[in-house]
Chain A
Amino acid sequence: MATTQSYYVPAQSKWPIIATVGLGATLAGVASILVEGSQGESTTGAWVTFFIGAMIMAYMLFGWFGSVIRESRSGLYSQQMDRSFRWGMSWFIFSEVMFFAAFFGALFYARNFAVPWLGGAGDRGSSHILWENFQATWPLLNNPDPDTFPAPEGIIEPWHLPLVNTILLVSSSVTVTIAHHALKNDHRTKIKLWLAATIVLALGFVFLQADEYIYAYTELNLTLRSGIYGSTFFILTGFHGAHVILGTLMLSIMLIRIHKGHFDPEKHFGFEAASWYWHFVDVVWLGLFVFVYVL
């Protein structure tokens, strides 16, 4: 713990308050769009609020990360600061794991308890008397009340597109690790090449996932409205997809920074944080592939 270096404490910062205003406006905007839209009112003001909020958020992200990068490159950050960042990122990823755990929990509960009980399993439950002809199956292709929630006609076949996506994401985890090793050995060209390859694989994944969504909506009638199967399917794959896009953005910024000559073999926490995040989305995908698609 003994430190001979100083611990950097920034004097003041305008970024947190800008971030607060930005996030507040963004969320207030989204809430107003949803609420006013559902009541048939005009949502113009809500959209304006949302866009202003989103612009402020974007400005804040550039500014805040920009000043952190400048401070880091001017040598203000000690080894101890580096450790703070590492703890911070690790616990942030843990919080993300728990966020997904809530949705995986919902999937397991629906599949192992809620749906079988609706179908009469356990014989002490009462929910099966609600819809007497309901047959419990998984994937759930016949909803208890098909008038409110029309069931999907089919599900995504795991061994076609999702398998390709699995291969894409797992290989991208490998390529980002090769890039990391190249960074440690200071092979700048090799880093750029492997990092670019990672981003290409990531974009391929996002493209195929979008294609899968279009197929689900247009061909299978598998939508958000198609009962608990569609609900869990889209919330899990949807939030995962959003995280993939975020991770791709992180990796792209790392590529730009590599091009600008940032990072050296000893100090490159920004790169490591992005690659940790990337491995995290990869692991979540493996969980998704097994529990959402295959089983």
Chain B
Amino acid sequence: MSAVIDTHTEDHHHGPAKGIMRWILTTNHKDIGTMYLVFSFTMFLLGGTMAMVIRAELFQPGLQLVVPAFFNQMTTMHGLIMVFGAVMPAFVGLANWMIPMMVGAPDMALPRMNNWSFWLLPAAFTMLLSTLFMKGGAPNFGWTFYAPLSTTYGPPSTTYFIFAIHMMGISSIMGAINVIATILNLRAPGMTLMKMPLFVWTWLITAFLLIAVMPVLAGVVTMMLMDINFGTSFFNAAGGGDPVMFQHVFWFFGHPEVYIMILPAFGAVSHIIPAFARKRLFGYASMVYAVGAIAMLSFVVWAHHMFTVGIPVAGELFFMYATMLIAVPTGVKVFNWVATMFRGSMTFEAPMLFAVAFVILFTIGGFSGLMLAIAPADFQYQDTYFVVAHFHYVLVPGAIFGIFASAYFWLPKWTGHMYDETLAKTHFWLSFIGMNLAFFPMHFLGLAGMPRRIPDYALQFADFNMISSIGAFMFGATQLLFLFIVIKCVRGGEKAPAKPWEGAEGLEWTLPSPPPYHSFTTPPEVK
């Protein structure tokens, strides 16, 4: 019984085609996963370069390197590229590689659509990046593109930005549909829902969130398009519309979006910590329910981004308490990770270092989130560097460390080689120190009143900004080391066994390293 048949070539168990066409025409989940990961890292370096421009300008007070208009384009493009180009595609890449192997499937459920999901991204980002070279410059209104900054006062390139977002949305929705169809339909016999690995569970819920909110993003940019080009007044009070309505619709997308960027990392860390603590994950079922609860709550907390825009007091109260409620399921997860480590036989290879740092530093980001959730206090924090510190703590040591942990954890499986552990640990420590140097002082800057998205600042903020910039340069430069480690690992190294980590569990470790081109041609039996 072959699970893969192919009528287009004579060879029934075809391998990859040769050359560039292999990558352009491929329907293979591993090829597509690799392309997603390479694309994501390219965007990470590009968005990172923009962050370096920002930090270089902020190294000292005064205007040194760039004009304010370009500075605004840098903050906007940095945010858009990191959210839509780096973090989201990285997780889709991990999903492509791992989900079919984890559920015992031959490939993704809809392989051709999978290819389309990927290739739309380079097209979308080409369009987005081309705005940098247009008359009037690139989008300059922040990654949240609030109206009327983006409608009445936006540069002409905003229309290109809107269509780029449309393409990214189509890509995400198709990718998410593929993940859901794979998980719901292609699981190996015997793998019931509550036996699924947590990475699969978190991605199932992430995919649901993507399908629910990416169309809302499409809706809000479509309304922008109409306001800019066709004279409607959705976000213009002169015609009875409301700029605040933009924020409501945007954040209805935006808040689930931040969970889209963290839930798959939760899943990956829930594999890595048990593997290196050599203990089973503490509280599997509660982990699943916690992720479900976080996802549901994410739909009813959006206005906590808007406490200062003038919403009714009842709204402030509701969104404040609903937001705080999210701390409960998140706390369950953190507790379970710690309890998994408790009295485990722990070793600290690179994936574990990143995973432990994830748990600690993401919790710091969570706590500052809790501070921001307090509506009266938020009036002080709104639009300051405290907010920047908060979301960089959940995104950098949260999402990005989760991705690094996953990459080191699964690199031996993907390439068949062990990576260089010493270099990887160096990468970890430099990233860890650099990232904390860069973002921790931002808390103090924000509490002292430094506003975000400005190219210049008052003198009393100079010292912390300099420390922050040094940390950012350190973190940025360190990522080139990661590139080197990965290339070195792909090109050779110690042969990796099928299961390179003593404590790891799951179907993916039953396949050889590297796995065959088609993962499971015969579905394995799960007891």
Residues of A in contact with B (beta carbons under 8 Å apart): 1-4, 6-17, 19-21, 23-24, 27-28, 30-31, 34-35, 38-39, 64, 71, 74, 76, 80, 83-84, 87-88, 91-92, 94-103, 105-106, 109-110, 113-115, 117-118, 122, 124-127, 130, 140, 143-145, 148-149, 223-232, 234-235
Contact between B110 and A225, CB atoms less than 8 A apart: no
- For B105, the chain A residues whose CB sits under 8 A away are 7
Contact between B159 and A2, CB atoms less than 8 A apart: no
Contact between A114 and B185, CB atoms less than 8 A apart: no
- For A225, the chain B residues whose CB sits under 8 A away are 230-232
- For A7, the chain B residues whose CB sits under 8 A away are 3-4, 105-107, 186
Q: Tell me, yes or no, whether B423 is within 8 Å of chain A by CB.
A: no
- For B518, the chain A residues whose CB sits under 8 A away are 9
Give Cα A272–Cα B277 distance, bound, in whole angstroms. Answer: 50
Q: Tell me, yes or no, whether B119 is within 8 Å of chain A by CB.
A: yes
- For A9, the chain B residues whose CB sits under 8 A away are 3-6, 27, 106-107, 111, 518
Give Cα A148–Cα B211 distance, bound, in whole angstroms. Answer: 37
Contact between A20 and B111, CB atoms less than 8 A apart: no
Contact between B211 and A94, CB atoms less than 8 A apart: yes
Contact between A6 and B237, CB atoms less than 8 A apart: no
Give Cα A3–Cα B522 distance, bound, in whole angstroms. Answer: 10
Give Cα A165–Cα B236 distance, bound, in whole angstroms. Answer: 32
Contact between B159 and A224, CB atoms less than 8 A apart: no
Q: Enumerate B154-187 residues with CB–CB distance to A below 8 Å.
A: 156-157, 159-160, 162-163, 166-167, 170, 173, 176-178, 180-181, 184-187
Of chain A, the residue at the smallest CB distance from B8 is A11
Q: Is the interface of A mostly helix, strand, loop or mixed?
A: helix
**Interface size in chain B (residues, C-beta < 8 A):** 90
Q: Per-position contact with A for B210-238: 1 when CB-CB < 8 Å, else 0?
A: 01111110111011001001111110111
Q: Tell me, yes or no, whether B324 is within 8 Å of chain A by CB.
A: no
Contact between B242 and A110, CB atoms less than 8 A apart: yes
Q: Tell me, yes or no, whether B241 is within 8 Å of chain A by CB.
A: yes
Which of B244-252, B414-422, B498-506 is the contact stretch? Answer: B244-252
Known A-B contacts A102-B215, A106-B249, A126-B310; the reply to A114 vs B240 at CB < 8 A is yes
Closest Cβ of chain B: how far from A52's Cβ, in Å?
15
Give Cα A7–Cα B238 distance, bound, in whole angstroms. Answer: 57
Closest Cβ of chain A: how far from B127's Cβ, in Å?
6
Give Cα A145–Cα B219 distance, bound, in whole angstroms. Answer: 25
Closest Cβ of chain B: how far from A243's Cβ, in Å?
13
Contact between B242 and A113, CB atoms less than 8 A apart: yes
Contact between B185 and A28, CB atoms less than 8 A apart: no
Known A-B contacts A87-B185, A99-B216; the reply to A228 vs B233 at CB < 8 A is yes
Give Cα A100–Cα B310 distance, bound, in whole angstroms. Answer: 26
Q: Tell me, yes or no, whether B330 is within 8 Å of chain A by CB.
A: no
User: What would be 20 A-B contacts, judged by CB atoms less than 8 Å apart?
Assistant: A1-B187, A6-B2, A9-B5, A21-B123, A31-B127, A38-B156, A64-B112, A80-B185, A88-B178, A102-B219, A106-B234, A109-B242, A109-B248, A110-B241, A114-B237, A144-B237, A149-B236, A149-B238, A149-B240, A228-B241
Closest Cβ of chain B: how far from A13's Cβ, in Å?
5
Of chain B, the residue at the smallest CB distance from A97 is B215
Closest Cβ of chain A: how far from B339's Cβ, in Å?
32
- For A149, the chain B residues whose CB sits under 8 A away are 233, 236, 238-240
Q: Tell me, yes or no, whether B430 is within 8 Å of chain A by CB.
A: no
Of chain B, the residue at the smallest CB distance from A102 is B219
- For B6, the chain A residues whose CB sits under 8 A away are 9-11
Give Cα A239–Cα B6 distance, bound, in whole angstroms. Answer: 40
- For A148, the chain B residues whose CB sits under 8 A away are 238-239
- For A39, the chain B residues whose CB sits under 8 A away are 135, 156
Q: Tell me, yes or no, whether B26 is within 8 Å of chain A by CB.
A: yes
Known pairs A1-B523, A80-B186, A140-B240 / 17 extra A-B pairs, C-beta < 8 Å? A7-B105, A10-B27, A12-B21, A12-B25, A19-B116, A20-B120, A20-B123, A21-B123, A23-B167, A30-B163, A31-B163, A35-B160, A103-B219, A110-B234, A117-B242, A149-B240, A235-B234
Chain A CB within 10 Å, residue with most, of B167, B173, B232, B518: B232
Q: Tell me, yes or no, whether B424 is within 8 Å of chain A by CB.
A: no
Closest Cβ of chain A: how far from B312's Cβ, in Å?
7
